[in-house]
Chains A and B, each alone.
Chain A
Amino acid sequence: MSALKFKLAYRNLFHDRLRFVATIVGIVFSIVLVTVQAGLYVGFRRMVTTMIDHSPADLWIMPAGTKCFEDPSLLDDRQRFRALAIEGVVDAAPLVIGYAQWRLPSGTTTPVFIVGSELQGFGVRPWNLVAGRVEDLSIPDAVAIDQSYSERLGVSATGANAEIRDQRVQVAAMTRGIRSFTTTPYVFAGVDRARAYTGMAPNKASYFLVRVSPDADAGKVRRQLRESLSDVEVLTAAEFRSRSRNFWLFGTGAGAALFAGALLGLIVGTVIVAQTLYSSTKDHLSEFATLRAIGSSSRYIYMVIVWQALLSAIVGFIGAAGISAIVVRMTAESALAVVVTPGMTFALFLLTGAMCVASAIAAIVQVMRIDPTTVLAR
């Protein structure tokens, strides 16, 4: 790459400031749109599996046909004992989930989602605690909630009281950032309390979380579990995650909507950059003809145009990254966070470059048609 080619490209680009600004604004908006859509997608993906991600289970036992973590389901303790009897199964801990009504002392009610596990053993216990400790949940009637829902649940601090199913609850711990994309607040409790709050019989559970002995062959344990338990499915955490994701992202159409938004952003961006590059090339056509007349190869000329495209991409990407960072920060604590990972940032950068280079095609096609003899006309 010669420095002069690059110089020519950026001088061409900055020559018409107004057009350059318009190009950059187009790229910035397009890339911000793509980033937000992709970030929502990633945020959503993370959110729908947050409980599975925070469970230490190697295998999940669930009723056949369970679509996602929140899908209300019922298993019997007998199956748990059968599971524990299999060699290689170290633990099969009950997990209880279900919707319930949270009643404030004032009498108003609000729906909540109960997540109950064994407090000593193996389970999904609250994380990111900002007040209280996990052990505090063993106090009778103790529950943990997320601080972001404290207003909705009428809780100003730990120690506050409410009722679920006519039973007293006391907020013993508070977490930060455990939000549900369904916007129904999670309420963590011990497994017995959770059964009481969801009206589940003491010998039932929603899931059994299986821990496989490190020396055992997980695949074999899983096969045996499937054989000896009827009407259940045994999924690895990864399988359960992808099932939950597929359900929420594609079963509901939310994923398709996000994808369509991102695609739209890309198309708009490409059209804008293509349009401005095309008109810039048109303005500099006599210079490109001169280059051709003095013997430059087509490749040399294409490189000047591609450099113009890439320079626009770099400046546009920096702008878009700045705005996206603000969006990420602003939504971090919201019900649905826009999540941008370093890998995504890199991918978006490549995408911006690809978009701009693709946009250069129209300009290149135009330059391919120039006749160098035009330089001899005065």
Chain B
Amino acid sequence: MSEPVLDAVGVGKFLGHGAGRVHALKGVDLSLMGGELVLLMGPSGSGKTTLLSILGCLMTPNDGTVRVRGEPVGNLDPEALAGIRRNHIGFVFQSYHLFPTLSAEDNVRLALDVRGERSQRKAAREVLGLVGLAHKTKAFPNELSGGEQQRVAIARAIVGKPSVILADEPTGALDAENGKAIMTLLADIAKDSSRGVLVVTHDPRIVPFASRIVHIEDGRIVRQETGGEARRVSQS
């Protein structure tokens, strides 16, 4: 463990307007270190996705500060936030969000293309090999299984070597076996000490992969435990 790659202090967020206004986050402190795989767990509606959006610079908080690799992002405009996302953050979504008209390889290249990087093909193939899809680089999303599509999405998230990988229920649409394969991949990615992985999940089967588990309820962090503690709890 080294530097925090991501750091949130006192983050508060209101969502919606008028009568539908919800205090979704009520002062959240959270940091993600390089080399860590953190699980964010909590009941439905507790604010997990909202927190992930703020940590991933998709949304700005009403209170508190977020720092990416030590740099505060509070005062950045939408274009600058997009810049932070493309350079430092990789996303994995529950519903994959691959481009149906592009091959697996092109989907992965896209993450480099938005940065204006060259020699994308080689990097894309390498990363697809890493996630076990070396033989499917030319396949289109509709020719891939859910697990394979999610692996392409992971390849897209990591191809640019971002410091932060954020995943919102990455195994939510997968069966047990594919879910396990995806989590193994994410755990492997987190072994690199320059990179932290934060995974939002409901799924207790994922616990064994975690280095730390953060529990959120009603917009507040209520409990944190290390992976070891969690495993003992689940065994007893």
State the A residues within 8 Å of B (CB). Answer: 2, 4-5, 7-8, 11-12, 15, 286-287, 290-298, 300, 372-373, 375-376, 378
User: A2-B113, A375-B97 are contacts. A295–B86 as well, Cβ < 8 Å?
Assistant: yes
Bound together, the chains give a CA A376 to CA B92 distance in angstroms of 9
Q: Are A294 and B86 in contact (CB under 8 A)?
A: yes
CB<8 Å pairs between A and B, sample of 30: A2-B113, A4-B106, A4-B120, A7-B106, A8-B102, A8-B110, A11-B99, A11-B101, A287-B97, A287-B99, A292-B82, A293-B97, A294-B85, A294-B86, A294-B90, A294-B110, A295-B82, A295-B83, A295-B84, A295-B86, A295-B115, A296-B82, A296-B114, A297-B79, A297-B83, A375-B93, A376-B49, A376-B52, A376-B93, A378-B95
Interface residues on B, range: 35 or more
Decide if B168 is an interface residue (CB 8 Å cutoff): yes
Q: Does B46 belong to the interface (CB within 8 Å)?
A: no
Q: Nearest-CB distance from A137 to chain B (Å)?
A: 70
DSSP class of A's interface residues: helix, strand, loop or mixed? helix
Q: Is the CB of A297 within 8 A of B82?
A: yes
Is B209 located at the chain interface by the 8 A CB criterion? Answer: no
A8 touches B99 (CB 8 A): yes
Q: A11-B101, A290-B97, A375-B93 are in contact. Are A295 and B110 (CB under 8 A)?
A: no
CB distance from A93 to the nearest CB of B (A): 70
A52: min CB distance to chain B, Å: 58
- Shortest CB-to-CB span from A101 to chain B, Å, is 71
CB distance from A26 to the nearest CB of B (A): 23
Contact A293 B58 (CB under 8 A): yes
State whether A291 touches B49 (Cβ < 8 A).
no
B86 touches A4 (CB 8 A): no
Are A290 and B82 within 8 A (Cβ)? no
**CB closest residue in chain A, given B111:** A294
**CB nearest neighbor in B for A298:** B79
Inter-chain CA distance A295–B114, complex, in Å, is: 7
Q: Is B32 an interface residue (CB 8 A)?
A: no
Task: Give, as a whole number of angstroms, the nearest-CB distance from A6 to chain B.
Answer: 11
Pick from B94, B114, B168: contact of A297, CB under 8 Å: B114
| B172, A378: Cβ atoms closer than 8 Å | yes
Chain A residues whose CB sits within 8 angstroms of the CB of B83 once the complex forms:
295, 297
